Copies of this chain bind each other. A is one copy, B any other.
Amino acid sequence: MSALGFIGLGVMGQPMALNLRKAGHALSVYARNPAQSAPLLAAGAAVLATPAAVAQASDVLFINVSDDAALEAVLFSREDATSGATSGATSGAAAGLPAGGIVVDMGTTSPAFTRQLAERLLAQGVSLIDAPVSGGQAGAIAGTLSIMAGGTEAAFQRVLPLLQAMGGNIVHVGDSGAGQIAKACNQIVVSATLLGVAEALTFAAQLGVDAGKVRQALLGGSAYSKILEIHGQRMLDENYAPGFKAKLHRKDLGIVMAAAQAAGMALPATALATQLMNALVGNGQGELDSSALIEVIQQLNKAAS
């Protein structure tokens, strides 16, 4: 059985790491905020002082941090993790990785960065699997996440039994970056659907109809989506406790739009959703669940709010 490491124990990472531990794996962890490590310590994981120390103890290293810059820092930082001062010695995880090891990036990262990262790691004999997830905190806790993986078939097969401790629907989409492209597609679909549900419920309210009954009627037909079911109910309840924060959804849409621009692609609905998500975050609501996007539509149409 492999020795596992997990770096990044936030809203998603903590329950995902706990599910690996519950599956019986030896596990060492690192989190910038030590309080996030406590449940892992209680579950028998080793809490170590630096990403490099976790990497040295691991054949397979899972990382779940917020963006490209954070992932770069975890892997290649020369900053002393305990003092914050820049030192000559690296505390980044890459230096600690054994040849033949595998890094599994479970955060949402840009496809271009992922492909570069795969090449950098390969130069030291380490494989990268990009394996971003969908399904939210509830899916992370239940171990039913949808996992979209990119990388070589051999590396994917080695980590598949580990991913199965965290997710239900696990698809090997293609080579390095393919998982991140699938995640970008996920965010395209989710943002367009959120926007459609937000406009529909606002339209119903403004035309004097019970938006809750409209949602109920729509759930039985072609309009059914997880977003209508879960986020539509949050919109009706004005319950925007995350869930998935608007600022992270905006970050992910930024990845999509940058990739589309680099590829010379027009994505008109995603561009619109990105603009409206910018407004939501700009209005100071970035910490809310991204279903609060309906508030931007309601602000446009004040009579409905």
A residues with CB within 8 A of B: 111, 133-136, 139, 145-148, 168-169, 171-174, 178, 181-182, 184-186, 188-193, 195-197, 199-204, 206-210, 213-214, 216-228, 230, 244, 256, 259-260, 263-270, 272-273, 276, 297, 300-301, 303-304
Question: Could you show 11 A-B contacts with beta carbons less than 8 Å apart?
Answer: A135-B222, A169-B221, A174-B210, A185-B204, A185-B214, A195-B268, A221-B226, A222-B230, A224-B225, A266-B300, A269-B269
Q: How far is the CB of A9 from chain B (nearest CB, A)?
A: 22
B residues less than 8 Å from A148 (CB atoms): 214, 217-218
Q: How far is the CB of A211 from chain B (nearest CB, A)?
A: 8
B residues less than 8 Å from A189 (CB atoms): 193, 196-197, 200, 218, 223, 225, 228
**A-B contact sample (9 more), CB < 8 A, given A173-B217, A225-B226:** A169-B219, A178-B210, A181-B204, A185-B218, A189-B225, A192-B197, A193-B225, A202-B267, A269-B273
B residues less than 8 Å from A186 (CB atoms): 200, 217-218, 221-223
Other-chain contact of A220, B146, B203, B223, B227 (Cβ < 8 Å) = B146
- Nearest 9 Cβ contacts at the A-B interface: A169-B220, A192-B196, A134-B221, A146-B221, A225-B225, A146-B220, A185-B200, A171-B217, A189-B223
Q: How far is the CB of A93 from chain B (nearest CB, A)?
A: 27
- Rounded to whole angstroms, the CA-CA distance of A103 and B206 in the bound complex is 27
Other-chain contact of A214, B169, B181, B230 (Cβ < 8 Å) = B181
- Rounded to whole angstroms, the CA-CA distance of A182 and B200 in the bound complex is 8
Q: How far is the CB of A10 from chain B (nearest CB, A)?
A: 18
